[in-house]
Amino acid sequence: MAEFDAAPPNTRAGGNDDNLRVKEVGNPSHNADEFDMVAYQNEVPLWKRIHQHSLTQMFLMSIQAFCGPAMADAIAGLGGGGLATPQTSNIATSINYACLAITCLFGGPIVNRLGTKWALVLGAMSFPIRGASYYCNSKFGIQWFLIFGAFITGTGSGCWYVAESGTIMSIAPSGARGKYLALWIVARNLGQLIGGAINLSKNHQAGAKGGVTPDTYIAFLIIESLAFPFAWLISPLHNVVRSDGTKVRVAEKLSTKAEFKLIKVTMTSKLILLSALWAVWSFFYSGTWSTYLGTYFSTRARALSSLISPFFCIIGCFGLGFILDMKSLSQRRRAQLGLFTVLILNTGVYIWTIIMQTKFNKHSPGKIDWVDKLYPSAFLPYFFVQTTGPLSQSYMYWLLSSFATDAQANVRNGAAFRCLEAVGQAISYGMNTQIKTSPLIGFCVTFGLMAAAMGPMILLVNSTPNEIPADVLDKEEHERELEDHQNQQKPVGEKDEDVNFSVNRV
């Protein structure tokens, strides 16, 4: 087992395996090594230290995730976007994720040039368009706005997603990445809880048919608008101070041409190639399970489902976070244990769902309400997938950050992974626009994708370095600086003796 724990000889943290990390062009900034925590505390006002603290920044990112992506998930959690028929919503959502994928593909260079803060600000401006388009379609039947809004939100959200992934993977201290990521993923799912409460309060009457009330989307629109002011409060990465007293390792800015050249390097790196199928699969479930909810559940049952689904996610994500932060295990062992946990839980949920769907294909249940005896067994697979799905996403971002050499590498890797995630979502929702009888095909495809992703992921996880490369590089540079400083303090004769002594030893 000791040999299994040890990292392969060519994949040490910050080592010489160029396929496992993006090659750096230009010299890295040494701001992390030069940072003096004592001087910082003495010279910087308390309010500013609190603002620049990594936990504060993660809270600000989580609030934006709650206002933006979480509200989008809440709308999807209504089943077909809450519309009377899910097909139009699935078409719009598919277009949204197609645009998001394209933006994420080129998002790394864009965000690294703009800076994560300004990319977040620009992206947050597009969030309210989603709620507005659903309101107009529900109230006035304007379907073209739903489709056109999908183009705008897909592009804007893509810019925001790239900046978000680079930020959340960079600001967390190495010993608490699992818990920080759990906080972020829980905030995203709490949005669905709030959305479900809004929906249930307006659609709780028995016998309600069709879509949810138009006023429901007004509440979503208001919450989505709140992401914009919080995006302005984000501090640039080079100013963030982690809770362990370290700063984010930031490389020097590259030219736009050099950044675009790195797209190919990133997309063809071993890190992205081995995680590609996992990325496509990680959000693939959302389209099929949303269609499942819209097809088989009444309006108020869908509202109740979207309310209570995120509760177990909170426990699950923080539970996985504690596993991934266990100091008694090496980083590589934690990666293996996390992968095993995520795969086992997802497998159980998928098998259960396929069994339920097979029964529905034989005997259609009609529209299931929460007072029906069938409701618990039919709803629980959806309930648990709202936990196992986010677990797979939280785990993957933790794993990606385990290979990071600096903040810009996190942005590029995050952009590539987000691109592939969006491709999976676009395919999933696009596929479900054609499935008008049974979501069974979607469930089987999702299960098959997970099975196909297992092999490459095992290879990747078994090559996880035992320390984050960025941390190792910081330590090595700090040691060199200390050594240079000590040599400068020595008398000239003493330096010569050291050199002669070294030569004699050789």
pLDDT in tens, 61-110: 999 999 988 888 777 666 556 565 566 777 887 788 888 888 888 888 88
State the Cα–Cα distance between residues 153 and 129, nearest whole angstrom. Answer: 7
**Inter-CA distances, 298 with 90, 103, 204, 434, Å:** 18, 36, 10, 22
Q: In 3D, which of 127, 100, 156 has the Cα closest to residue 417?
A: 100
- Are 61 and 153 part of one and the same domain? yes
- Are 448 and 313 part of one and the same domain? yes
State the Cα–Cα distance between residues 412 and 176, nearest whole angstrom. Answer: 22
State the Cα–Cα distance between residues 208 and 197, nearest whole angstrom. Answer: 17
- Are 278 and 385 part of one and the same domain? yes
**Inter-CA distances, 465 with 237, 399, 416, 474, Å:** 24, 10, 21, 15
Q: Which two tokens stand for residue 214?
A: 């138009």
Give residue-wise pLDDT tens across range 428-462.
777 766 655 578 888 888 999 999 999 999 999 99
- Are 63 and 209 part of one and the same domain? yes
- Helix (H/G/I), strand (E/B), else coil: 406: coil
- Are 143 and 65 part of one and the same domain? yes
Residue count of the chain, please give it: 506
Find the CATH number of the domain harbouring 171: 1.20.1250.20
Q: In 3D, which of 390, 246, 383, 414 has the Cα closest to residue 321?
A: 390
DSSP for 26-81? SPBP-HHHH--HHHHHHHS-HHHHHHHBHHHHHHHHHHHHHHTHHHHHHHHTTSGG
Write down the pLDDT at residue 403.
Answer: 87
Amino acid at 500: N
For the CA atoms of 336, 340, 341, 344, what is the dihedral angle to 10 degrees?
Answer: 170
Residue 5: inside a domain: no
Total domain count, the chain? 2
Residue 372: inside a domain: yes
Instruction: Evaluate whether 256 touches 113 at the Cβ level (below 8 Å).
Output: yes
- Are 300 and 439 part of one and the same domain? yes
- Helix (H/G/I), strand (E/B), else coil: 310: coil
- Are 57 and 122 part of one and the same domain? yes
State the Cα–Cα distance between residues 68 and 62, nearest whole angstrom. Answer: 10
Provide φ and ψ at 369, rounded to 5°: -105, 165
Residue 411: inside a domain: yes
For the CA atoms of 390, 391, 393, 394, what is the dihedral angle to 10 degrees?
Answer: 110
Q: In 3D, which of 349, 388, 331 has the Cα closest to residue 185?
A: 388
Q: Which two tokens stand for residue 299?
A: 């309006």
- Are 505 and 394 part of one and the same domain? no
Write down the pLDDT at residue 320.
Answer: 92
Domain range for 163: 36-242+257-462
> Residues in the chain with pLDDT < 70?
1-35, 76-87, 192, 195, 199, 202-212, 432-437, 471-472, 474-506
- Are 403 and 472 part of one and the same domain? no
- Are 472 and 410 part of one and the same domain? no
For the CA atoms of 444, 299, 306, 127, what is the dihedral angle to 10 degrees?
Answer: 100
- Are 472 and 457 part of one and the same domain? no
Residue 23: inside a domain: no
- Are 478 and 457 part of one and the same domain? no
Q: In 3D, which of 142, 152, 134 has the Cα closest to residue 215?
A: 134
Residue 272: inside a domain: yes
Residue 17: inside a domain: no
Residue 481 makes CB contacts below 8 A (sequence gap 6+) with: 30, 33
Residue 75: inside a domain: yes
CA atoms within 13 A on the CB side of 315: 4
Please give the radius of gyration of the chain, using alpha carbons only, rounded to the nearest integer: 24
Residue 274: inside a domain: yes
Strand partners, 251: 28
State the Cα–Cα distance between residues 178 and 157, nearest whole angstrom. Answer: 24
Residue 259 makes CB contacts below 8 A (sequence gap 6+) with: 108, 109, 112, 113
